[in-house]
Structure 1
Amino acid sequence: MTDRTLHLPVAAQPSVDSLVNLAVLGEEYGYERAWLPETWGRDAVTVLTSMAHETEEIGLGPSILNIYSRSPALLAQTATTLQEVADGRMRFGIGPSGPAVIEGWHGADFERPLRRTREYLEIMRTVMAGETLNYDGDVFSLAGFRLRCDPPEEPVPIDAAGMGPKSVELAGRFADGWHAIVFTPDGLRERLEDLERGIELGDRDPEDVRTTLSITACALEDGERARRLARQHLAFYVGAMGTYYRESLSRQGYEQEANEIAAAWASGDQERACSLISDDLLDDLGAVGTPEHAREQLRKFEEIDGLDAVAVSFPRGATTDELESTIEALAPDV
């Protein structure tokens, strides 16, 4: 059975409390986990700490923390501390993000993202196991320290985000799970083959690698409003967030649409960029419209073999009331 989780809004919210309230609402409606993104707004660690204090059962985790702005040892310390605060409910998502954020916001060189991801996974596990850190990698050479506090009683699983074949293969080979975003059903099935290849290369049990797909979702009685919000959101990702989403969409059979969306956005014609997302493409990428239609589209993804969880994500322009309505409409038991 596919779990249903929340991927809390990437857009700025009124306050930390407003994000905490969404996690509390998710717990009330039976969602398995609340994932919190971190981009260039509030930091995820502080908000997750607040969520841990105000919830009791729902799983929590960042998706994603990038692998350039914090050292691997610091991320391991953070995971250890959050696991203590949350009484064992944490699961971590890490990944490279993209050059626009890493270079333009953090001022770091976006170099060797795949190798760096692998080394983060290996170093974080060593630290969280309470072992002395002696690591000689291509990116990091570390020695002589070990975690000063007790390691987590329950190890914190670490998932890796990725969109391309090699990054997904890496997740299968080294991570505890894969986080996917902006995928059609057919595109996801193709990347799941890369995940399976990584699992085989790592000589691992497929049951030990969990796949989570974040799906743009908006379920409103005003279905056209929901679809308009989703078009704006997806056009922004394809047009304004570097090349990763455009390239991923191209690999999934929408090369012409992806290039035209990006070109329209780059020329300043955001309205045209949104209009280029057809109804078919919108339904292929998300679960948006009236509650009935959104639930139908969400079930289409949940039926994909090899997918363990769908994460209900939200358009950037949705209001608090629209977020809450979508959480209620797409709750696991509805």
Structure 2
Amino acid sequence: MTDRDIYLPVAAQPSVSTLVGLSQLAEAEGYERVWLPETWGRDAVTTLTSIADGTDEVGIGTSLLNVYSRSPSLIGQTAATLQEASGGRLRVGLGPSGLRVIEGWHGESFERPLRRTRETIDVVKQVLSGETVAYDGDIFELSGFRLRCDPPDPAPPIDAGGLGPKAVELAGRFADGWHALLVTADGMADRLDDFERGVELGGRDRASQRVTFSVPCCALDDRERARQLTRQHIAFYVGGMGTYYRDALARQGYEETATTVFEGWNAGEREAAVAAVDDDLLDALAVAGTPEECRDRLARFEGIDGVDAINVSFPRAAQRADIEATMAALAP
């Protein structure tokens, strides 16, 4: 059975307590896990600590921590601490992010993102084992570090994000799962093939791995508002987050539409870019409309063979009432 998770809002919220309250609501409505991105607002680690303290059973996760702004050893320490603070409810999501974020926001050179992700996963697993870290990689040469506290038991699983074929293969080969974001229902077939190839190359146990598919959702009685909010969300990602999502959609057969959205957004023609997200692309990527429509559409995503969890995410411009209505409409 496919689990149903919540991807907490990517847009900055009024307070940490707002995010704790949404997590408590997710727990009460039966969602399996709440995932927190780390983007423009509050850092994921401090916020997830508050969420862990304010909830009892719902899982928590990072989706995603980038592998440039923290060292691998620090990510390992952080994962161990969050696993302790949450009573074993953590799942760690890691990924390279993109050039605009890493170089523009963090001042780091966006070099060899796949290799850096793979080596970070290796080091984090060593840290979490409680053994002394000894690592001789292409990027990291580390020795001497060891946790001075009991290692977490069990160690939290480590998932990897990514959209390109090699990134998804890497997740299958080295990580405990893969996070899919802004992938069409049809496009998942190719990427799941990449993941399975990685599983085979790494000699992994697929039954112990987890594919989490994040789907933008907006279920409102006001159908047009729900769909317009979701169009805006897609246009922002395709146009405003570098070429990463544009290129991913091009690989999935939407090159012309993705290019139109991208060019319009970057020319300052935001309304035209949003309008270019036609119904075909909107419904291929997202679940938006009335509650009844959305329940049917979400079932289609959940029925994809190889997907273990659906992550109900929200348009970045959604208001608290929109988020709560969507959570209620799509509760497990």
Fold shared per TM-score above 0.5? yes
Is 1:306 aligned with 2:306? Answer: yes
CA distance in 1, matches of 2:40, 2:8: 15
Is 1:103 aligned with 2:87? Answer: no
Is 1:53 aligned with 2:88? Answer: no
Is 1:85 aligned with 2:80? Answer: no
Is 1:156 aligned with 2:160? Answer: no
Q: For 1:68-217, what aligned pairs fall within 5 Å after superposition?
A: 68-217=68-217
**Secondary structure in 2 matching 1:81:** helix
CA distance in 2, matches of 1:305, 1:250: 23
User: Is 1:302–1:310's contact at 8 Å kept on the other side of the alignment?
Assistant: yes
Q: TM-score, normalised by structure 2?
A: 0.99
Structure 1 partner of 2:278: 278
Gaps of 5+ in 1: none
Q: Give deviations 1:73-117, integer Å, cap 9, x for gaps.
A: 000000000000100000000000001110100000001100001
CA distance in 2, matches of 1:179, 1:106: 23
How far does residue 40 in structure 1 lie from its aligned partner after superposition?
2.1
* One-letter amino acid of the structure 2 residue matched with residue 170 of structure 1: L
CA distance in 1, matches of 2:40, 2:287: 26
**Secondary structure in 2 matching 1:215:** strand
Q: For 1:308-327, what aligned pairs fall within 5 Å after superposition?
A: 308-327=308-327
User: Is 1:128–1:152's contact at 8 Å kept on the other side of the alignment?
Assistant: yes
CA distance in 2, matches of 1:125, 1:221: 46
User: Is 1:40–1:105's contact at 8 Å kept on the other side of the alignment?
Assistant: no
Q: For 1:256-295, what aligned pairs fall within 5 Å after superposition?
A: 256-295=256-295
Is 1:227 aligned with 2:222? Answer: no
CA distance in 1, matches of 2:174, 2:132: 20
CA distance in 2, matches of 1:185, 1:228: 20
User: Is 1:217–1:286's contact at 8 Å kept on the other side of the alignment?
Assistant: yes
* Equivalences, count: 332
CA distance in 1, matches of 2:294, 2:99: 33
CA distance in 1, matches of 2:244, 2:266: 15
* One-letter amino acid of the structure 2 residue matched with residue 78 of structure 1: T
User: Is 2:118–2:174's contact at 8 Å kept on the other side of the alignment?
Assistant: yes
User: Is 1:178–1:210's contact at 8 Å kept on the other side of the alignment?
Assistant: yes
User: Is 2:12–2:40's contact at 8 Å kept on the other side of the alignment?
Assistant: no
How far does residue 141 in structure 1 lie from its aligned partner after superposition?
0.3
CA distance in 2, matches of 1:205, 1:16: 37
How far does residue 291 in structure 1 lie from its aligned partner after superposition?
0.5
* One-letter amino acid of the structure 2 residue matched with residue 303 of structure 1: G
CA distance in 2, matches of 1:120, 1:208: 20
How far does residue 279 in structure 1 lie from its aligned partner after superposition?
1.0
Please give the root-mean-square deviation of Cα atoms over the aligned residues, in Å.
Answer: 0.6
How far does residue 240 in structure 1 lie from its aligned partner after superposition?
0.6
How far does residue 327 in structure 1 lie from its aligned partner after superposition?
0.6
**Secondary structure in 2 matching 1:35:** strand
* One-letter amino acid of the structure 2 residue matched with residue 278 of structure 1: D
CA distance in 1, matches of 2:280, 2:40: 32
How far does residue 63 in structure 1 lie from its aligned partner after superposition?
0.3
* One-letter amino acid of the structure 1 residue matched with residue 12 of structure 2: A
Q: Give deviations 1:111-132, integer Å, cap 9, x for gaps.
A: 1100001101110001100001
How far does residue 204 in structure 1 lie from its aligned partner after superposition?
1.3
